[in-house]
Every structure is written in structure tokens, then in C-alpha cells.
Amino acid sequence: MTNRLREETSPYLRQHADNPVDWYPWDEHALAVARETGKPILLSIGYSACHWCHVMAHECFEDAATAELMNASFVNIKVDREERPDLDKIYQLTHQLIAQRPGGWPLTVFLTPDEHVPIFSGTYFPRERFKVLLERVGTYYRDHSGDLDGHIDALSQAFENMTLAIGDDDVALDLRPLAAARQGLAEQFDREHGGFGGAPKFPHPTHVETLLRAWRDSATSSSTDLDALLMATLTLTRMAEGGLYDHLGGGFFRYSVDATWTIPHFEKMLYDNAALLGVYADAFAATGEPLFGDVASATADWCLRDMRDPRGGFYATLDADSEGEEGKFYLWTREQVAAVLEPEAAALVAARFGLDGPPNFESRAWHLRVAPSTDETDRNAVDEVLDIARQRLLQARSERVWPTRDDKVLTAWNGLMVSGLARAARALGRTDLLDAADDAVRFIRKSMWVDGRLCATSIDGQARHAGYLDDYAFLALGIVELVQVRWSTSNLCFAIELVDVLLAHFEADDGGFYFTADDHESLIHRLKPFADEALPSGNGVAAHTLAILGHLLGETRYLEAAERTVQTAWPALKQYPHAHSALLEALESLLNPHEIIVLRGPAAEIEDWRAYLSAGFNPSRLLFAIDRTVTELPGLLAERVASDKGTIAYVCQGTSCRAPIDTLEALTFALEPERKNPQ
């Protein structure tokens, strides 16, 4: 028996195509069936790499008796949260309202058939509890459906109350939320193991970026914020040494189940690795610490090797499970290591990665993490042996049964990857990463940009689902990062098209951006999210990108939209600043505009200047090297930079610009901190 999910593009939905459950995808047909039959909707939201989604599927959705109960009383709808983040965000919020605690996946929500108001919600349910729940919810709805009338108004009001917003365009912005966020992160910081809070522990790359920027902003003052640097670098070091990082294949798992970064939840997500690639590259640029550069390089290698579509995009996820067990692909026994390595190498691997101690995974196997340092008389020789041993172990691991890969290309996550690759290319000097970023943008423009609008997903050559706020915002910022390392007028113009769609179809009258466009399917609420979640806030990224493009192009409507967004989010920024890192970056880019340097001249010479000026970590500097043969430039950029002979640098900050500078020595002198302000 197969159900309607067989024809879906989502690998996650297709995983449930053979369930005895009479599944529908979320579409008008399914909603019409619910209205016509009067049956409540059982909405199940998950994603293909989710371990507990698999567990509930095996226990409940593959069980004939459970499926019979579901089919008798409900219209059953399965949703891939990566394809439909709009639905996931809405019903995660409703779960928080109902349960008074955070949600997660799988998310199970029972809805009224007409207004789609939640009746009850939960996350994972084991089979017997789920069967009892099905009977109770079915009975409750039959006996009390009239009591649910009008709940949509109360729910809408609750949604509004959860969104801290004001419509006052005259609010005076200031930088105090940055200092408050810095203090909030310090209060949550784990000074022994790094990271923020306890178990489960997530990497929070936006927090690390906030701290790196705080340190860099203070670097020219009389009181350098070394503690911000310590918090950032200790976190990055502990994650890179721990089990969150894949010491053989590169890349990071989703989170650690413990506070010491030892055992991860083994799924690998593209968005985590895109963000961590960028932050490790930035930390390497800031400190020169080889570990950070090595981790950034290996993470990029993993993305290019294991997650890249031949046409240029990047796939979404690798599953946590293989052969029905979480983490099996990544775990080792001493016997497995000994079968691959010579005794000397096996002993060094055991000492370096903790196999000479008790098993750290369910008392039966080892997940590799760097053990406390041992007495090594010749570190270089040891590292050489370990490098060869890692290659052999990686090869042996690659011959195991692989976790399932979700081959969807998601526009938003690819936008994050373009940004991470561009930043890593700049810090590591790797042109292959630039090529990969270029290819990803080219793929999206060719396959997912349809009639002037983005599609959110693509798989097997089929693009689907109208793009969301994150798709436009993340891709536009990724392109801005890319053109700083490799100029392309065409790519910059594409970024301009993207933000113009945001302004035309996503911006709210009172400021800020809705998650869905004005012509999107009507849902029970149109969200305007400001807080960072697993991904940075689309509102924050949009405002930051608009501020950059507004100053670069002299486009005041971009600056005004960025300011409206931050003003609307101001209550949230003041009350919970460290939960809004993306908006904090937008705030800073408005009040302390970036130093924008545009280089014009022969390609070889301006590339030398660009490489010199982009060395180190300068988050407040934007640098664009434009070959003088490029004649078509958008906006005020065309007026600011003439096609001169020789090499010329144009330096602006906000709306003020210096006179053109024609030698690298003079430019370096002009950029010294005490001379940064335009005269």
C-alpha cells in the first residue's frame, strides 16, 4: 500500500509513502477533505535527518493498529519543516502557547478542520501513549467542537502579544543593546567547557560572532575586551576538540547532548556548517590560530565533498541514523581501529581520541573527541602519523552503510553557505571555495529564480514552494559577501533584485518583514519573526543587508527600510538583546556605518591591494575590487568610482567620502584608526 506522499518531492515525505496511514501533503485538497468530512486534522511535522521522527514513524506510523485509529478519526497531514518553515514556525509557536514549553520535532498538532486552530499538541509520543491520545482527542472533538468556535481570535491575539513591536518611527536608536547582549552572553557562558548554558548544548555561531565583533570594536580603545575574545575562542576550541566536530570527515553535528561537547545528536545540517564555516574562518583571521583555520578548511572540504549537487547547489542534511541506529556510521570500537591501523598508529589514535579510556557512547563504543593532552616527545612526528591514520579511518568509514542524505537544495541554507564559503575563501586564500560559492549562486539563478521570484526548494530539477523571507535575505547577504572577494556586477544586481522583492512583497506597513510574501497562501497568522532561532533572524539579516546596500549604492529607501525594521524590533532588542544577534548587527551597521573601500584599476594590481587590505578580521570594513574594464555599475556606485587609469581607492563611511587615493601606502596611512573619520 502506498499513499499520496509517493508523488511528493520531499525525501522526508517520501519516507512515509508506504505507511498504512492515509497521509496527505499540506495542500488545498487535504484541507478541503477536512472541511467536507468535518474530521479534525492530525498534523505531523518533521524532517528527514530527525532521529526521533524516525523513532515515532517506526513505533506509530508503520503500525497497522495505530494507523487504523488515525485514519478513522483524522485527516492526516505530513509536513517537511524544511520545505514549509512557515507552517512549522506557526505551529511551534502554538505548541509553546499550549504546552508552555519549547517544541521540537516530530511536532504533532491536532487542528480544527475549518480554521486550523490547535486542539492539542506535543512532540514525540511512544505508540501506546499515542493511541490513547488519538482516542481522547477524537472523543474531545466530537463532544466539544462547539467550544472551539472563536478560538482563532484569541490565538491571533496571543500571536500578537508574543511579537514585541511598536509602530513608532521616531524611536531613538542607540547602541546600548550591544553592551547588554555582551553582558547577557557573559552571564550564560560556561567558562570551563565553552558555549552558553548547559545540556543540551548548541553551537550558537551568532553568539560567537557577536563576541568577536565586540572584541574587535574595542581593539583600538584603551580597554580592549579580551574577555569577549576569550569566550569566543574557548567556545570554538572546545567545540573543535569535542565530539560535536567530525574529526575524520570534517563538519559539525547539530548539537551536543551533554555540557562537555562529548556526544552529539548525529545529524549534520547544512545551515549549522555554513554558519560555523564562516565563524571559524573569521576566528582564524582574527587570531591566526591554526586550529581554527584547519577546522574551517576541513568543514569546507566536507561540504564540497559530501553535500554538493553536481549542478552547484548544496544538499540539506545527513541523517543521524544508519542501519536503524543513531550514530552508528561514526562510532568505533578498538577492534575496528586495530583492523585498519598498524599497532603504533592505533595506539596514537587511542591516546589522542580517548579510546584508551572507557567507552563514551552507551558503554559499548567510542565517538572520537580529542582527549586531554598526553606526553608526546615529538609532536610533529605524532601529527604526521595521526594525519595518515585519520585518512585510513575515513576511508574505512566511507565503506560503511551511509546515513541517508536529503538531497533537497534549500535557497536560504544555500545563501548561508555562499556567505560562509566567501568568508572562508578570504581567510584561507582558497579560490576553490569562491568557485563553489559562484556555482551555488549560478544554480539558484538558473533553477530557482522563476519570473522574478525565488523558489524555496529544488530537488531532481524541480523547484517548488514560494520563497520565504529567509530565502531572499540570506541569499542577498551571501552575494554581498561573495562580491567582496570576487566582483560580479551581475551578482550584485541579483542581490538588488532580491531586496527589491522583499520591499515590494514582504515589508509590513509598520516596519519589519513578514516571513511570507503578500501573495502567499493564507494561514492562521502571518508571522514577523525578529529573534534568532537555529537560523539567524531573517528580519535582522534583511535589515543588515539593506543597510550595506543602502550605503554602497546611495539608496536611501534601503536605509529607511532597515531603520524601520530595527525601530519596530526595538522593544525586543532592549528586553532580550542576546536573543537578537542578527538585529544587533543591523543596528550597528546603521549607527556605525561600515567603512566601504572600492578599488578600481587593473585586475592584478587591485587584487594585490584587496588581499593586503582584507587580511585580519575587520567586520566593520567592506572591500570591493572592481576591474577598471567593468563599466556598468548600479546606483551611486557608478558615480562614485570613475574608470581611471592606474589604481584608485575610494573610501566612504555612511554618506561621507574621502578624496580618491592612488597609492597603497597612502591608503594604509589613511585607514589608521585615528584617521578613519572622513574630513
Q: What is the pLDDT of residue 235?
A: 98
The model's pLDDT over 504-514, given as tens digits with 9 standing for 90+, comes to 999 999 999 99
Burial of 558 (0-12, 13-18, 19+ CB in 10 A): buried
**Residue 440 CB neighbour total at 10 angstroms:** 26
Grid coordinates of 66: 495505530
Torsion of CA 112, 113, 117, 119, to 10 degrees: 20
CA of 339: how far to CAs of 280, 332, 333, 336, in Å? 34, 11, 10, 5
What is the spatial distance between Cα 54 and Cα 556, in angstroms, rounded to a whole number?
50
Confidence of residue 199 (pLDDT cuts 50, 70, 90): very high
Whether 586 has a pLDDT exceeding 50, the answer reads yes
| CA nearest neighbour of 465 among 105, 51, 104, 85 | 85
Mean pLDDT (the chain) is 93
DSSP code, position 401: P
Q: What pLDDT sits at residue 632?
A: 87
pLDDT score recorded for residue 145 = 80
Mode of pairing for the β-strands spanning 462-466 and 595-601: unpaired
Q: Which three cell numbers stand for residue 210?
A: 557577536
- Please give the pLDDT value at position 229: 97
Q: What distances in angstroms separate CA 527 from CA 140, 350, 381, one per listed residue?
A: 29, 50, 56
pLDDT in the model for residue 1: 62
Question: What separation in angstroms does the CA of 215 have from each of 581, 586, 590?
Answer: 15, 17, 19
Domains of the chain, first to last: 4-162 (3.40.30.10), 328-398 (no CATH), 595-675 (no CATH)
Counting residues of the chain whose pLDDT is more than 90, the rounded percentage is: 86
* Residues 208, 223: Cα–Cα separation, whole Å: 20
pLDDT at 148: 76
d(CA 608, CA 435): 19
Residue 168 has pLDDT above 70, yes or no: no
pLDDT single digits (tens) 237-262: 999 999 999 999 999 999 999 999 99
Which strands make up the sheet holding 41-46, listed edge to edge?
Answer: 23-25, 75-80, 41-46, 107-111, 118-122
Share of the chain above pLDDT 70, in %: 95
Place of cell 509520543: 125
* pLDDT confidence of residue 679: 36
Q: How confident is the model at residue 435 (pLDDT cuts 50, 70, 90)?
A: very high
Between residues 115 and 467, the one the model is more confident about: 467
- Share of the chain residues as helix, strand and coil, in percent rounded to the nearest 5: 50, 15, 35
Question: CA angle, 201 as apex, 293 and 527 as ends, to 5°?
Answer: 100
Residue 151 has pLDDT above 90, yes or no: no
Calpha distance 654→670 (Å, rounded):
17
Given a contact cutoff of 8 angstroms between Cβ atoms, the answer to whether 46 and 53 are in contact is yes
Span 5-14, average pLDDT: 95
pLDDT for 211-240, tens place per residue? 999 999 998 777 899 999 999 999 999 999
pLDDT digit string (tens) for 669-678? 998 864 444 4
Residue 157: what pLDDT?
74
Residue 660 has pLDDT above 80, yes or no: yes
What is the per-residue DSSP string for 62-109? T-HHHHHHHHHH-EEEEEETTT-HHHHHHHHHHHHHHHSS---SSEEE
Mean pLDDT, residues 123-131 taken together: 96
With bands split at pLDDT 50, 70 and 90, how would you rate the model's confidence at 159? confident
Q: How confident is the model at residue 636 (pLDDT cuts 50, 70, 90)?
A: confident
Decide if pLDDT at 461 tops 90: no
pLDDT at 376: 54
Q: What would the pLDDT profile of 321-375 be if each residue is shown by its tens digit?
A: 999 999 999 999 999 999 999 999 999 999 999 999 999 999 999 999 999 765 5
363-420 pLDDT, tens digit each: 999 999 999 765 555 677 788 999 999 999 999 999 999 999 999 999 999 999 999 9
**What is the pLDDT, as a whole number, of residue 676?**
47
Tens of pLDDT along 516-550?
Answer: 999 999 999 999 999 999 999 999 999 999 999 99
